[in-house]
Amino acid sequence: MSQSYQDFLAGKAIRAHACGVDVHASAVNPILFPFQRDLVVWALRQGRGAVFADTGLGKTFIQLEWARLLGVKTLIVAPLSVGRQTAREAKKIGIDVTEARCGADCGPGISITNYEMLSHFDAADFGAVVLDESSILKALDGKTRRMLTDMFSRTRYRLCCTATPAPNDHVELGNHAEFLGVCTSAEMRAMFFINANKEHTLLLDGKAYRRKGSNKGGQEWRLKHSAEQPFFRWLASWAMMLTLPSDLGYRDDGFILPPLNVIPTFVETEDRPDGDALFFTALKGIGDRSRVRKGTLADRLEVLRELVNGNDDQWIVWVGLDAEGKAASAAIDGAIEVTGSDSAEKKLAAIEAFQDGRARVMVTKGKIGGYGLNLQNAHRMAFFGLNDSWELWYQCCRRMYRFGQRKPVDVHVILSDKESGIYQNILRKDAMAARLRTGLIQHVKDHERRELHQERERMTQTSTHVEHGRLWTAMRGDSCERLKELETASVDLSVFSPPFADLFTYTDSPHDLGNSRGWDEFFAHYAYIIRETQRVTKPGRLSCVHVSDIAAMASRDGFIGVRDFPGAVIRAYDAEGWTFVGRAFVQKNPQAQAIRVKSKALLFVQLRKDSADSRPALIDQVLIFKAPGENAVPIRPVDNGEMDNETWIEWAHGIWLGVHETDTLRIAKGRGANDEKHICPLQLGTIERCIKLYSNPGELVLSPFMGIGSEGYQAVKFGRRFIGCELKESYFKLAVANLRVAETARMSGGLFADEATA
């Protein structure tokens, strides 16, 4: 195996490339914990990355030290309520942060502003940007999120910090990757995900977690099964995700929190949203929920007043309606209300009064005070109503339940009995998110640890197992490597169907030719096989390559149409010195293809709706290439008794009729549990024509992509010898079984019937 091929495989690894600076850990402020220090060093080295650390793990210190050690003019963008808190935290580690409302307010060092003020800044003025509470990328409308991403697209250094994103929400990860310049959200989906037909699935530890519904455009996506480990490696190359220091191999001392007690209280009510219905079933829509909340406000307020006024503890009361906030602040002793209409200064003054203990009770909405604030000075809160947002629930709870909290945190939920379903839904989402988050971190943490300490995974080694028969040899492994074991000019004919560029369809190996991010990478990989196939082919002999056009998809290619894959293959062979001598088209059934590939372009309904979006079926093609030099041993199929003039007239027509699409080897045993697509073995009739036309009995036939052994089966059947390579173990085993069936039948003079063919 040449070093150049190893370098190529290393380059195929899908990962974010570092563009930062190397800083020794000793340069980081010693007040930071060891895991925080190493995250700072990693983020500096990465240049563009994300720290998805759970609440209370010190993201503020991490981002401040990152900005300080970069030594460039930096803008931190944060929710309004967090900016002044960050400036106060900065003083603890000797850093000055300027609170800015426009670019003119910024000094040469670190400045902080809120998301609402971004239009008053010029990104070109800054060498680095930090998005604090960057999960806002998901919450922002598409136009604002696009503006934010475009605004900083040329900023060299970028850092995103937020609590662990919802692990079953790939959209949030895609938004982060796009902001950081790792890839677009669409590219992420094309690489690792597959359309799940409105069923969102993440496979962890063999279990599929699903969420019904549809996102924008009516499409849901799930992680490809074979893409799991590549996805986690890729994620770890630009993001660090942790809920505790131990996720990265550090001690959890001081980070084990006291208990979190969730205490629901349901207020009985006679209100029936269904009008005259005798029995209430469930709330239906926003209108029902709002009416119940308003109708039960007085009853719920009595519970809240008794609960909060009955002690001297500090409380946060989370409300959802303006009427709830007004009523709660009036009924509770020593309460201050923070509303959306308050000025920025008034909001900040109220929050600081609560943090400093000068205000006993703060009443506000989760979207105002639920993100980023350090409120562990208190340990009691009440939800005066609830909606279905698990993320808002989680963030609000974590304002108190975070590092530094010494007491058990009591979370009271005050609802009407008609809203119990909302509460149960939140608990269900919370349990699911906990399982998914734990599972995701279990998968990603080993990759993260290697990234954190600059340890690179060694390239996957492939098997070198070989099976032999009297007429065949099957080699398991990478064709680029295994073909080097064959003698030069030893092969009389090669027949095969190469995989197409379609990431993680069958394996997660970088050795898999199909695992390519695009055609450039695919054909760069394929070139190794084209060259080796030419080396082992006798001068003047042929290679038959089975291909077809490829349907283009908007999610992968950016348009809907057809891509000329055969033309690209011809150009690739021409570049390596082969001569293109012809092609045959293999007739296909358009109705069968429409059913199999679910192409609307072939359906009758599309023909009647708008034939501008209809097209012919994608026809299989056999491309025929000749190796340089003169053939020393003539191929005489007529003399061999395998062809007559009438057959030649039929086959020379250029359109091969009579090849049945179902004339293939059985494939059920070869399909792996993680395969995203069914195996599509080459039709036996197509292989037969290639073998009889372009080889003599007793000669050697090669397939560098053996699959389940179709080419070998036919080669042995028609008295040739065969050698093939296959990367995937399950296909290799089935190919060996099929080759043994063929050889047994050949040696015994038996018929090739039901033993292997379907």
pLDDT in tens, 382-439: 999 888 888 889 889 999 998 889 999 999 999 998 888 889 999 988 887 777 677 7
pLDDT, mean of residues 169-176? 76
Secondary structure element (H or E) that encloses residue 693, with its range = helix 684-694
* Confidence at residue 436, expressed as pLDDT on a 0 to 100 scale: 67
Give the Å distances, CA to CA, from 35 to 25, 237, 437, 457. 11, 17, 20, 22
Q: CA nearest 682: which of 407, 525, 554, 494?
A: 494
pLDDT, mean of residues 25-42? 95
Q: CA nearest 217: which of 189, 239, 241, 249?
A: 189
Beta partners for residue 98, in sequence order: 111
Q: Tokens 């028969």 — which residue?
A: 469
Give 54's pLDDT tier (boundaries 50, 70, 90). confident
pLDDT, mean of residues 705-714? 95
pLDDT in tens, 252-270: 988 888 999 999 999 987 6
* Confidence at residue 670, expressed as pLDDT on a 0 to 100 scale: 45
Q: Tokens 């093609």 — which residue?
A: 621
Q: Tokens 């662990």 — which residue?
A: 164
Give the Å distances, CA to CA, from 336 to 315, 316, 346, 377, 379. 11, 10, 11, 16, 17
Residue type, 756: A
Burial of 140 (C-beta count, 10 Å sphere; 0-12/13-18/19+):
middle
Residue pair 296/285 in contact (Cβ under 8 Å)? The answer is no
- pTM summary value: 0.69
Torsion over CA: 508, 510, 512, 516 (sign): positive
Residue 535 has pLDDT above 80, yes or no: yes
Residue pair 78/100 in contact (Cβ under 8 Å)? The answer is no
Q: Which DSSP symbol is given to 665? A: B
Q: Tokens 């971190």 — which residue?
A: 441
Give 545's pLDDT tier (boundaries 50, 70, 90). very high
> Which domains occur in the chain, in start order?
36-182 (3.40.50.300), 184-229 (no CATH), 260-433 (3.40.50.300), 466-748 (3.40.50.150)
pLDDT in tens, 93-129: 999 999 999 999 999 999 999 988 999 999 999 999 9
Residue type, 743: E
* Confidence at residue 216, expressed as pLDDT on a 0 to 100 scale: 42
Give 758's pLDDT tier (boundaries 50, 70, 90). very low
Give 745's pLDDT tier (boundaries 50, 70, 90). very high
* Confidence at residue 631, expressed as pLDDT on a 0 to 100 scale: 97
pLDDT in tens, 429-440: 888 777 767 777
* Confidence at residue 525, expressed as pLDDT on a 0 to 100 scale: 94
Which of 460-488 are b and which e, b meaning 16 or more Cβ less than 10 Å from the residue's Cβ?
eebeeeebebebbbbbbbbbbbbbeebee
pLDDT, mean of residues 722-730? 93
pLDDT, mean of residues 135-151? 77
**Of residues 327 and 510, more confidently modeled:** 327
pLDDT in tens, 628-682: 999 999 999 999 899 999 999 888 888 998 888 788 887 544 445 454 444 567 8
pLDDT, mean of residues 243-253? 90
**Of residues 336 and 550, more confidently modeled:** 336
Q: Tokens 């401040």 — which residue?
A: 64
Q: Which DSSP symbol is given to 552? A: E
**Of residues 532 and 174, more confidently modeled:** 532
Give 215's pLDDT tier (boundaries 50, 70, 90). very low
* Confidence at residue 164, expressed as pLDDT on a 0 to 100 scale: 64
Contacts of 394 (CB under 8 A, 6+ apart): 163, 430, 433
Q: Tokens 């990104």 — which residue?
A: 123
Residue 689, both tokens: 């024509």
**Of residues 87 and 595, more confidently modeled:** 87
Give the Å distances, CA to CA, from 155 to 124, 137, 180, 535, 745. 7, 17, 9, 48, 68
pLDDT, mean of residues 219-238? 79
> In 3-state terms, what secondary structure has residue 93?
coil
Residue 598 has pLDDT above 70, yes or no: no
Average pLDDT, the chain: 84
Residue 754 has pLDDT above 60, yes or no: no
DSSP per residue, 593-643: HHHHHT-GGG-HHHHHH-GGG------EEEEEEE-SS--SS---TTTTTS-
* Confidence at residue 667, expressed as pLDDT on a 0 to 100 scale: 55
Give 590's pLDDT tier (boundaries 50, 70, 90). low
Q: Strands 700-703, 620-626: parallel, antiparallel or unpaired by DSSP? A: unpaired
> In 3-state terms, what secondary structure has residue 8?
helix
Q: At what angle do helices 519-536 and 3-12 cross, to 10 degrees?
A: 160
Residue 275 has pLDDT above 50, yes or no: no
Give 171's pLDDT tier (boundaries 50, 70, 90). low
Lowest mean pLDDT among 364-378, 534-548, 667-681, 713-727: 667-681
**Of residues 420 and 289, more confidently modeled:** 420
Give 198's pLDDT tier (boundaries 50, 70, 90). very low
Give the Å distances, CA to CA, from 69 to 28, 44, 161, 598. 8, 8, 17, 54
> In 3-state terms, what secondary structure has residue 676?
coil
Q: What's the N-to-C CA distance of the chain in angstroms? A: 38
Q: CA nearest 672: which of 726, 741, 596?
A: 726
pLDDT, mean of residues 493-503? 83
Residue 237 has pLDDT above 60, yes or no: yes
